[in-house]
Amino acid sequence: MEKYDWNIVLAGAHPLGIDAAKISRDQTKKTIINLFNGEYKLTVEQLIEEMCEQIEYKYEHNEILMNAFVGGFLGDGGFFV
C-alpha cells in the first residue's frame, strides 16, 4: 500500500494482476505477456490512452495503474512502462 501512497485503487491493481495470472490458461497468459512485451500492434501505451477520458489529466494515474497490474501479472512487482 505504501508504494502506491495508500491509494486503494492503485494498490488493488497489483494483486489483481497476480490473480489474473493465476487463473489464466497457458495460451492466454502467453498472449498477455506478448502484449506486455510489445509483440502486437496494440501497445501497452495505447491501452493506457484508451483508459483515459481526458488523456492529459489521467494518463499518469492510468500508467501507474497499468504498471501495478503488469507487475503483479509478471510476478516482478516492478514497473513496466
- Tens digit of pLDDT for each residue in 18-41? 999 999 999 999 998 888 888 888
pLDDT exceeds cutoff 80 at 7: no
Distance CA 13, CA 36 (A): 15
pLDDT exceeds cutoff 50 at 80: no
Given a contact cutoff of 8 angstroms between Cβ atoms, the answer to whether 66 and 47 are in contact is yes
Given a contact cutoff of 8 angstroms between Cβ atoms, the answer to whether 48 and 79 are in contact is no
pLDDT exceeds cutoff 70 at 10: yes
In this prediction, residue 56 carries a pLDDT of 66
Query: Residue 81 — very low, low, confident or very high, per pLDDT cuts 50/70/90?
Result: very low
Residue of 80 and 64 predicted with greater confidence:
64
Domain boundaries, the chain: 2-74
